[in-house]
Structure formats: structure tokens, C-alpha cells
Structure 1
Amino acid sequence: MAAAIAAVTPEKEEELVRVQVLAESKISKLPERYIQPPSTRPTPSSTSRSPSSIPVVDLCDPQSDWQIDQACLQWGAFRIINHGVSVDDIKNIALGFFRDTPLEVKMRYKCPDVGFASEGYGSLMVANSEVVSDWRDYFDHHTLPMSRRKVENWPEFPSNYRKIMAEYSENMKKLAQRLLSIISKNLGLKSSYIEEVIGDVHQNIVFNYYPPCPQPDLVLGLQAHSDMGAVSLLVENDVCGLEFLKDGEWVLAHPLPDAITVILADQTEILSNGRYKSAIHRALVNAKLSRLSIATFYDPPKSTTIAPAFELINSPNSHPQYRGVTYGDFVSNWYGDGPDGKRTLDALRIFSK
């Protein structure tokens, strides 16, 4: 059972470090730091599109490569089924950490600081006090390369937690490589192109926990943003909350059992010279139910320079749409400014005269 939670008032909000603590205190009014400005709050129109609009690709379908190409062109995101990865164990240990672990035990794994994807148990995404806080707790695991993997930073409960995490990391690496190979070929590049550019992949696996919120219409679990790296792979429980921005409207992506959501990230948009777009997405919260998502980020090392593929700009009619950037600089700018759509990527765009 989780540890007893003391009553929390808005006046004590500065003492709070975890959203779950705040949610379980049964407050009726939110602290100001979580309240979104009216322009970014969830809107009723976000459910206007059919959930079937989100592309679903069966990886056993002979047409799956073409379907992925169309999804990358039109959405920058899609769901895959028959992907060969078991997701039940990883969801179970994630829920166990947040729901069944006493707070004082969870705090043994707290992040040492905020920003730059610090490993461990945290709440704040960025240190910038001007950025509205998300209604979310998380646990960030540094899984690849092996030089970053320090299993002593991961929980020991249940006894197979670390084994499950290591196996899931390897399976998701193989799946990401398979998808990036397809994406490379669809762009007219050799199948290993994106993988070779990325090099020694940096993989983080993040458990996101969105507790019930007393005023869900005023907050976001995760603010609108595109991911920074190459590709992200997302697993969810059965609670709605993931939205994508499509043609100026927010589209709610209803969970699909055992599916994995593939989200193109900013470095793939740069590499493709804008042919494929990274997907702007956000997370809503619920008044009664908690939501879980598990995000696997597949990113380049900080020292890697990303630029449009030469083969895609080497013609009289093709020009680079983005300046090259060192990935570490891109990440620093993203965290420094906080999430806001594609602000960091947009700063790299080259506008024709």
C-alpha cells in the first residue's frame, strides 16, 4: 500500500515535489503553477475527429512500408500492431512503482536535479520557473548505451524489475532500428542511413504517470511539443489522454490494446529535409482515472551533428530547409525554453528569399 499522504494546501505548494502527492491530498483547488493560460487549455473540440483517423499499421501486412510512408507524410505518427514486443510486464512494473510503492521508498530514486533528462523519479521537466508545470510524475531510465546504464539507479522491486527493463530496452532498440530502416528506404536512402547518422544511440525509457486531477480542464499532463530525437515509441494503459495536432485541430488518439505508437521526432524531420514532419502532441488528464504511458526515446549522442541528408538536397530543385545543428545544442535550447510546439526546430528553418 502507498504511504499515507498528509493534507496539502495551495499555500504549501512550494514544498511539493510530486504531483501524485498533491493529487492524493484531495485538494479542490489547483496551485497556480499548474494552471495553463486559456490559449493552451484542453478544448472540447479535441474529440471531434474519429479515433480511426490515427493511422494503424500492421507490420505483417505486405503494404506496411507504403503505409508507414503515408503516415509519416500526413501525420508524423502512427500506431503499429503485430510488432513482436510484449508490453504487459513493463506496464505492470511501472504501475507498481507509482501505485504500490510507499513515497519514502520512491524518494530514494528521486532525480538529483531537473532538466536534461536527469535519471530517476521526478515531476518537473525544466527548471525555468516561467514554464507552467505539467500534471505528471515520471521515472526516467538511462538504458543505452551501456556506458550510461547504471542499474543501481533502478528500483529493485519487484525482484525482476531490472531484468524486465533490460529486456524491454533491447526489444525496443530492435524495433526502432527496424522502423528507421523502413523510413530511410522510403526516403530513397540506403536502409542503414538514419541509423548510421545517429551512431551510438542514446535510449531513455520514461514511465509517465498522470494522477487524477480535480480541475482537468485547466491543466495538461504534458504540454504541446515535438520530441527532440529521432523517433519515440509509446505504450499506454487503457485511459485516453494522448492528442496529436493535425491540420490545426487536436485529435484524441484512443488507446489500442497492445499497439505501440510511433512518433517521429525533430532530428528525423531535419534529416528528411522536411519531407516527414515530427508530430506535435500533448497529454490530457482525467478527473477520476490515472493514466500511464511508457515512452522510449531513440536519440543521437549530444556530439552528433544533424543536417538534411545530402542525397535529398543534391539537385537544382532541392535546397536545404534546415541548418545543421549539434544535437547537444538542440537539447540545451529545448530545455532552456521549455516545451512549446516546434519552437526549437523552427529556429533552424531556412527561409527562401
Structure 2
Amino acid sequence: MEVGGNQIRVQSLVQEGKVVVPPQYVQPPQTRPHRVLRNTNKGDDVLNPPVIDLSKVNSLHEELRRACKEWGAFHLTNHGIPVELLDAMRNVGSSFFADCTMDQKLSYGCDPNSPASEGYGSRMLVQSNDTVLDWRDYFDHHTLPLSRRDPSKWPHFSENYRKVVAEYSDRTSGLAEKLLGLISESLGLSSSCIKDCVGEFYQNITVSYYPPCPQPELTLGLQSHSDFGAVTLLIQDDVGGLEVLKDGEWIFVNPLRDAVFVILADQTEIITNGEYKSAQHRAITNSNKARLSVATFHDPAKTKIISPAIEPHKYRPVMYGDYVSSWYTKGPEGKRNIDALLL
């Protein structure tokens, strides 16, 4: 996540009072965010991701089918995770970045020479592809399977931190499994189809912190990409900054406090043979206020072979570990990694 022992964090740049974005964070003109003013007085003129109520069983499969086919992402309400737990997860994540000194945070630093290592970092890619940096710091927790879960590696400044992360891990894992079952059924497959293809969840919880940026028009908090696993469950604070690509247009995802935002990832697109698409998304920055989000990734084991469950196959089979290595080596750049598997 970091390379060569570099200890620079975006938050430290802001605390130093930088008024100009350092060049390594400046996006090339073609990938910079372009603010589009929309008429918000007429609801029909504003495109928003679907909101699906998990308690409405009569229309659930049809709504899921439409959302997964047209967006690859949607808000989920009445999902069974108490809003108090969502708030607690946001709060402990925010406390780590707001209340700990930089030295305290760096004591949890991730391995600078190993992508996807657990801990506190800023850089996600190997150095050869790290040409433009994201305006983001993060803390990544390895939470499932339980053999990977080591709470001693998580912050201990708060009595609740480790307890909240563990409970949030368990609840989101259960929701992810339920969702994959419903998504399978919406395609006319057996409820266990996608989950059986994925196998045991390898779950990571990543708390992302996006400090205020002096030149948000030049940066991205997180560059355009699709997630490489099976399904991502995301919550964000009330600041907002997540955008999803829909029909060539970047759509701002308004935060909903009690909702979980579901993002289909690449392996689900492969398993559904392209019937459902993984969602391309990014994070923008702002100059006024820090933003926080919590993404919970549910992935296959590295040794799992992923292939379509529907004939005729449109994607080549791939070992998940090889797919991840390609992503970290080449970089995301939208969805080019999954596009390379098309037959």
C-alpha cells in the first residue's frame, strides 16, 4: 500500500497547511472531476441510484434485477443492521483519524512493500503504477475468515473500537450472504449459486478518510475503478463524495444515514456472465470538510477459480489471486481488468 517506507499521509499535508496540491496528487485533465450543475427542483431531472427496501418481498427480485442490470449498485434499507451500529462504525473510524496523533496512527502502519496488507496507509498500488496518488488515507482491517482476524492489530485507544469492528464484520457478512442469495434468485438461479461460486468470504473492512483538499478540481479521493471481489457494502458520513458511473455520466451518491450502499464487484459480473455489471465508481474531494466512508469487501479465496454460472460463457475462468495481482500491478483504470477476460 505504501512503497519504500514512505510515511507521508494526506492528513499530514493538510495539517501542514498546504494551499497547493503536491504534483503527485494532480490528476491528468481527462480524469479530473467535472462538476455538472443539475436542476434539483424537479426530481425527474436528477438521476439517483435506486433505493431498495429489503422488507418489500413482493417486488424485491424485480427491483434487484433492474438495479443490478442497470446500475450495479443501489441503496439498501431495512437491511437488518441497526442504525446504531452503522453510526458506531462511522464514529470509531472517525475517532482514529481525528483523535490520534500522527505518531499513534503510524504505529499501526501497514507493510509499505506489500499491497493489501492490514493497517494504516495511503498508497494502494505498487510503485511502478503509482503515478498519481489518491487524496485519501485509510485503515484496512482483515476480519474474515476468523483465522485472519487479529484485533491486536487494530487501534486500542477506545474500548469500543475492536468490539464495534468485530460486530460490524459479523453483521455485514450475514447481509452480504443474504444479498447474494437474493441476487441469484433474481436471475432464476438457485439461491446458493453465487455464494457457492465465491466460497468462504474473505472480508476486509476499510475505513477511508478524505481530508479537505485545497484544490478539489485537480484531485480524486479515489480514482475510477470497479471492485475486484464479489460484493461491497459501503456506508458514508453526511459529507458525501461517492460517485457511480451510469451511461457515461458520473452520478453523485447522496448519503443515507440508515442505508447500506451495495456495490457489485467484478467476480459477481463474471459469475452472472455479464447479466449483472460491477459498478464503476470513484470518490471526489472538497475544500471545506473531511469525509469518511467505510467499505466492507467480500471476496473469494485467492485459490478460488471463478467462472460464469450461465452458458454460453462470455468470460474466461480466472484464479482469483491472479486477478487481484493483475489489479494491483496494472492499476484499476475503470474496468480494464475484467474487460481483459471477455471472450
Asked if TM exceeds 0.5, the reply is yes
Correspondence for 2:103: 104
Listed as ranges, the gaps of 5+ residues in structure 2 are none
Alignment of 1:184-195 (within 5 A): 184-195=184-195
- Cα separation, 2, equivalents of 1:51 and 1:116: 38
Listed as ranges, the gaps of 5+ residues in structure 1 are 1-13, 314-318
| Cα offset, 1:193, TM superposition | 1.1
Correspondence for 2:320: 327
- Does the CA contact (< 8 Å) of 1:47 and 1:250 recur in 2? no
| Cα offset, 1:287, TM superposition | 0.2
Q: Does residue 125 of the first structure (1) align with residue 133 of the second (2)? A: no
| Cα offset, 1:32, TM superposition | 0.8
Task: State the 4+ residue runs in structure 1 displaced beyond 3 angstroms.
Answer: 46-52
- Cα separation, 2, equivalents of 1:129 and 1:182: 40
- Does the CA contact (< 8 Å) of 2:137 and 2:208 recur in 1? yes
Correspondence for 2:20: 29
| Cα offset, 1:45, TM superposition | 2.5
Correspondence for 1:70: 66
Correspondence for 2:284: 284
SS at match of 2:250: strand
- Does the CA contact (< 8 Å) of 1:47 and 1:252 recur in 2? no
Correspondence for 1:140: 140
| Cα offset, 1:113, TM superposition | 2.0
| Cα offset, 1:146, TM superposition | 0.9
SS at match of 2:341: coil
After TM superposition, the structure 1 stretch with the greater mean CA deviation from structure 2, 72-81 or 191-200, is 191-200
Q: Deviations over 1:9-29 (max 9, x none)?
A: xxxxx9652110011111111
Alignment of 1:8-23 (within 5 A): 17-23=8-14
Correspondence for 2:330: 337
SS at match of 2:159: coil
- Does the CA contact (< 8 Å) of 2:115 and 2:126 recur in 1? no
| Cα offset, 1:286, TM superposition | 0.8
After TM superposition, the structure 1 stretch with the greater mean CA deviation from structure 2, 218-227 or 100-109, is 100-109
Correspondence for 1:79: 75
- Cα separation, 1, equivalents of 2:46 and 2:194: 30
| Cα offset, 1:51, TM superposition | 5.4
Q: Which amino acid counterpart does residue 97 of structure 2 have in structure 1?
A: F
SS at match of 2:257: coil
SS at match of 2:148: coil
Correspondence for 1:57: 52
Alignment of 1:80-95 (within 5 A): 80-86=76-82, 87-95=86-94
| Cα offset, 1:129, TM superposition | 4.3
- Does the CA contact (< 8 Å) of 1:51 and 1:254 recur in 2? no
Q: Deviations over 1:13-65 (max 9, x none)?
A: x9652110011111111111100000000002286795552100011112122
Please give the TM-score of this superposition, normalised by the length of structure 1.
0.90
- Does the CA contact (< 8 Å) of 1:46 and 1:249 recur in 2? no
- Does the CA contact (< 8 Å) of 2:6 and 2:112 recur in 1? no
SS at match of 1:267: helix
- Does the CA contact (< 8 Å) of 1:114 and 1:124 recur in 2? no
Alignment of 1:275-314 (within 5 A): 275-309=275-309, 312-313=310-311
- Cα separation, 2, equivalents of 1:44 and 1:139: 29
- Cα separation, 1, equivalents of 2:148 and 2:112: 17
Q: Does residue 44 of the first structure (1) align with residue 35 of the second (2)? A: yes
Q: Which amino acid counterpart does residue 333 of structure 2 have in structure 1?
A: D
Please give the TM-score of this superposition, normalised by the length of structure 2.
0.93
Correspondence for 1:222: 222
After TM superposition, the structure 1 stretch with the greater mean CA deviation from structure 2, 15-24 or 141-150, is 15-24
Q: Deviations over 1:231-290 (max 9, x none)?
A: 000000001211011101111111112111000000000000000000000000110111
Alignment of 1:191-202 (within 5 A): 191-202=191-202
Q: Which amino acid counterpart does residue 155 of structure 1 have in structure 2?
A: P
- Cα separation, 1, equivalents of 2:140 and 2:186: 32
Could you say if the C-alpha distance between residues 244 and 138 of structure 1 is closer, same or farther in structure 2, counting changes exceeding 3 Å?
Answer: same
